[in-house]
């Protein structure tokens, strides 16, 4: 009944999402155009035939109380988010148009952020990064050419804090359900001698999590030095984080979901007395540090250039207690204990990942009244080391402490070059062209991947036209081609093929002082799409497989509508049809032709709305609603793989107290998530296996599913003091 009520309420308020506003300076409210040059090569405007949404610092601010960036994007069109711990703190994920986070290209100031091997974006490594974000742009579909892995569902580019003109300091604290606590400190010197600014942030977030033992201890920092004059902007940035998160990636089955929905099997074992225990350090422990150097130069009135250098260092492990594990897994020979041969032992292991990622991005921009040309690209290299250690064993054959039971490495190089042009050939018509060449070399030698030495060469053209019907109406039509290489986990399943996508977008935008409306239809046709199978590997990572022909067809509508001076609504709806063509599955030892099946994790309907009431300039109330239709967690349309539809409604309030003293302002914020206390699961997994033991001579296909429950009603309260 709650789901039906929420759905009706969302439709009753209209169809739409966040408006497309320019980034604002966080203190003065002035438009900052200078810092936007860092992302100008990969961002788009309404004059581009690309489907996109913008989100500014001011729009993020009321809900920025410690939750991850994916959760803050939850109410954008066609977006589905999830959290392992059930609260939005710790490991979180995002899907756009049914495509998971490995297919969402993420850049920070134009620098690739997705892990080069897994393609994932691990926001847990950068906790509280929203507090250092000036603006975000989410491009749905292929979008414009960018750096890093190809966008097969969306691209998200993040612009970090703008240069502040005035000196400021800021202290922010928030606390809430499940022991969640966030503290951060921000500062800026302002422009010293009108040229130099130094700014920074320190943050710490801790949470017990909704799921049992799904605790998080997250530290992060952000430091920026800037030089600016009439023609030059130079920025040096250091940022990173250290996360220690208790593992919560196992999920639970349907029976446990009914009886104990917060149960977490991670770390479970039986002690010598037969009692069930949980290992207290079954954690993921990872550090990641980033360095970026940006140089923008205004060469002439119509010419400017961007050059960036970057380096990322990552190092960490996840630790596990393994009960009665086989010696053979670790290359250990059986030993004799009290006259008996022992070939199993309890042990504690660590599986390490140490990596370096470095490179450069660059662009040259020419801009005049009717013609804009961008030439750019990037070169990046990844070097990764994967190894495992045993740090304790009940029985062993005198192996040295931290001996590596596996040790392998991988390298990946990525070069891309692109040329973009937008030409306005009349008052109403403009044409867009975008050509990208990308070459990737990947080598790996792991037991899970086998020996890999692959090279991929991709050509990705994009063309489109935009028609300004009048000052208020804008139409666009585009075609984009994208190619994408497999990730490391794809090699576990054999010899994966690169995937190909043809994306067609048709859109209409309407702008007036009180209404902003964006409507688009898309058709995304894939060849050899690597879709989620629903299964997980032994470290909780989703597995994928090529499926031949498939497509996504959809309609998206989003709007920002002012209802007088005090009310504003931002509703949106995404309707889609997502299908594998002529899907074949082996069941009970026989191949079955299933015809067209649903693509996994691709709901046919996603609806959102933000209703904001602002009775005074310094007081704001918002009601945020999300409905996600049912979806399959596999590709065979099994009823056992269904993830039920769900709805979520949050309440947000912000009150700002302005003073004329040393303390400039105090901002009080409150967020009540899931106010209707809905019990829902936003993610899960589905698996099948062949059982040929139960009945000799027969093969029976067994199915199973797991779920990741999300928290019921919970709250966060915060205060930010600026001086």
Nearest to 35 by CA among 21, 24, 48: 24
Q: How far apart are CA 643 and CA 38, in angstroms?
A: 41
Q: What is the dihedral of CA 185, 190, 196, 201, to 10 degrees?
A: 10
Give one DSSP letter per residue of 115-149, joined into a string. Answer: -TTT----GGGSTTGGGGEEEEEEEESS-S--SSS
How many CB atoms lie under 10 A from the CB of residue 700? 14
Model pLDDT, residue 630? 97
Nearest to 249 by CA among 294, 288, 282: 282
Nearest to 417 by CA among 157, 41, 38, 36: 41
Task: Average pLDDT across each block of 10 residues of the chain; the chain has 723 residues. List them in order.
Answer: 39 35 33 69 89 94 95 96 95 94 94 94 95 95 88 92 94 97 97 95 98 97 95 96 96 96 96 93 97 94 94 97 91 85 92 97 93 95 95 80 87 96 94 96 90 95 96 96 93 86 97 95 95 81 88 97 95 97 86 92 97 96 98 94 96 94 94 97 91 70 92 97 95
DSSP state, residue 202: E
List the structure tokens of 219: 């530290």
User: Which residues, other chains included, contact 312 with Cβ-Cβ below 8 Å and sequence gap of 6+?
Assistant: 288, 289, 290, 291, 355, 356, 357, 358
Q: What is the dihedral of CA 364, 21, 152, 67, to 10 degrees?
A: 120
Is residue 374 within 8 A of residue 365, CB to CB? The reply is: yes
Q: What does the pLDDT look like over 139-164, one tens digit per residue?
A: 999 999 988 887 888 999 999 999 99
List the structure tokens of 434: 């975008």
Q: How far apart are CA 543 and CA 624, in angstroms?
A: 33
**φ and ψ at 400, to 5 degrees?**
-70, 150
Q: How far apart are CA 687 and CA 327, in angstroms?
A: 27
Is residue 99 within 8 A of residue 143, CB to CB? The reply is: no
Q: With H, G, I as helix, E, B as strand and everything else as coil, classify residue 39.
A: coil
Nearest to 519 by CA among 55, 78, 10, 9: 78
User: Which residues, other chains included, contact 657 with Cβ-Cβ below 8 Å and sequence gap of 6+?
Assistant: 618, 665, 666, 667, 668
State how far the alpha carbon of 428 is from the alpha carbons of 48, 131, 431, 720, in Å: 13, 40, 10, 46
- Structural domains in the chain (count): 1
Q: What does the pLDDT look like over 211-251, one tens digit per residue?
A: 999 999 999 999 999 999 989 999 999 999 999 999 999 99
- What domain range includes position 679? 2-722
CATH of the domain at 227: 2.40.170.20
Model pLDDT, residue 695? 64
Model pLDDT, residue 33? 56
Model pLDDT, residue 175? 97
Model pLDDT, residue 263? 97
Is residue 319 within 8 A of residue 266, CB to CB? The reply is: no
List the structure tokens of 38: 């860092």
State how far the alpha carbon of 274 is from the alpha carbons of 269, 279, 321, in Å: 9, 15, 16
Alpha helical stretches, state H, 161-274: 254-259
Residue identified by tokens 């149960």 is 263
Nearest to 413 by CA among 362, 492, 357: 357
Model pLDDT, residue 314? 97
Q: How far apart are CA 245 and CA 704, in angstroms?
A: 27
Q: With H, G, I as helix, E, B as strand and everything else as coil, classify residue 575.
A: strand
User: Which of 373-386 are b and which e, b meaning 16 or more Cβ less than 10 Å from the residue's Cβ?
Assistant: bbbbbbbbebebeb
């Amino acid at each position: 009944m709650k789901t039906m009520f929420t759905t009706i309420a969302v439709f009753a308020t209209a169809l739409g999402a966040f408006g497309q506003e320019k980034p604002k300076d966080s203190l003065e409210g002035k438009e900052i155009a200078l810092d936007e040059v860092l992302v100008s090569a990969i961002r788009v405007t309404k004059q581009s035939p690309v489907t996109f949404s913008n989100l500014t610092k001011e729009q993020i601010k009321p809900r920025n109380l410690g939750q991850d960036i994916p959760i803050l994007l939850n109410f954008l069109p066609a977006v589905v988010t999830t959290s392992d711990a059930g609260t939005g703190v710790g490991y979180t994920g995002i899907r756009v148009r049914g495509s998971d986070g490995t297919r969402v290209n993420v850049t920070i100031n134009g620098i690739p952020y997705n892990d080069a091997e897994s393609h994932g974006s691990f926001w847990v490594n950068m906790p509280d990064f929203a507090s250092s974000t000036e603006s975000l742009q989410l491009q749905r579909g292929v979008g414009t050419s960018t750096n890093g892995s190809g966008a097969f569902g969306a691209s998200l580019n993040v612009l970090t804090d703008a240069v502040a003109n005035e000196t400021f300091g800021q202290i922010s604290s928030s606390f809430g359900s499940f022991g969640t606590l966030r503290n951060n400190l921000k500062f800026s010197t302002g422009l010293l001698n009108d040229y130099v600014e130094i700014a920074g942030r320190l943050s710490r977030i801790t949470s017990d999590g909704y799921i049992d033992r799904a605790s998080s201890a997250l530290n992060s920092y952000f430091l920026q030095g800037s030089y600016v004059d009439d023609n030059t902007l130079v920025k040096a940035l250091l940022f990173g984080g250290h996360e220690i998160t208790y593992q919560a990636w196992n999920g639970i089955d349907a029976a446990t979901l009914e009886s104990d929905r917060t149960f977490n099997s991670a770390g479970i074992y039986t002690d010598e007395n037969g009692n069930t225990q949980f290992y207290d350090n079954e954690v993921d422990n990872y550090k990641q540090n980033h360095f970026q150097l940006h140089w923008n130069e205004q060469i002439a009135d119509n010419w400017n250039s961007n050059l960036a250098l970057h380096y990322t260092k990552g190092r960490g492990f996840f630790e596990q207690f393994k009960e009665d594990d086989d010696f053979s897994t670790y290359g250990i020979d059986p030993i004799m204990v009290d006259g008996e041969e022992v070939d199993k032992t309890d042990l504690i292991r660590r599986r390490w990942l140490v990596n370096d990622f470095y490179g450069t991005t660059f662009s040259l921009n020419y801009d005049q009244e009717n013609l804009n040309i961008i030439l750019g690209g990037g070169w990046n290299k990844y070097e990764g080391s994967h190894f495992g250690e045993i740090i304790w064993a009940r029985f062993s054959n005198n192996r040295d402490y931290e001996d590596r039971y596996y040790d392998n490495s991988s390298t990946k190089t990525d070069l891309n070059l692109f040329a973009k042009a937008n030409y306005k050939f009349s008052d109403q018509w403009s044409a867009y062209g975008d050509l990208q060449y990308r070459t990737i070399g990947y080598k790996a030698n792991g037991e899970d991947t086998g020996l890999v030495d692959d090279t991929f060469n991709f050509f990705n053209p994009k063309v489109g036209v935009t028609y300004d019907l009048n000052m208020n109406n804008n139409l666009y039509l585009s075609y984009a081609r994208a190619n994408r290489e497999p990730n490391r986990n794809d090699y576990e399943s054999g010899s994966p093929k690169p995937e190909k996508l043809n994306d067609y977008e048709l859109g209409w935008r309407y702008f007036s002082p009180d209404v902003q409306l964006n409507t688009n239809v898309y058709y995304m046709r894939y060849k050899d799409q690597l879709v989620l199978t629903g299964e997980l590997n032994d470290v909780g990572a989703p597995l994928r497989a090529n499926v031949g022909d498939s497509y996504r067809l959809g309609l998206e509508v989003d709007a920002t509508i002012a209802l007088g001076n005090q009310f504003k609504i931002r509703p949106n709806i995404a309707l889609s049809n997502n299908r594998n063509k002529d899907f074949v599955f082996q069941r009970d030892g026989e191949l079955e032709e299933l015809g067209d099946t649903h693509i996994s994790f691709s709901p046919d309907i996603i609806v959102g709305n933000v209703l904001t009431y602002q009775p005074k300039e310094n007081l704001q109330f918002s009601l945020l609603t999300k409905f996600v239709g049912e979806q399959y967690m596999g590709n065979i349309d099994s009823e056992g793989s269904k993830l039920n539809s769900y709805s979520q409604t949050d309440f947000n309030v912000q009150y700002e107290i302005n003073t004329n003293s040393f303390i400039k302002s105090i901002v009080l914020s409150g967020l009540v998530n899931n106010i209707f206390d809905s019990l829902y699961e936003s993610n899960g997994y589905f698996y099948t296996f062949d059982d040929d033991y139960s009945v000799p001579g027969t093969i029976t296909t067994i199915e199973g599913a797991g779920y990741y429950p999300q928290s019921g009603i919970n709250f966060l309260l915060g205060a930010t003091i600026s001086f």
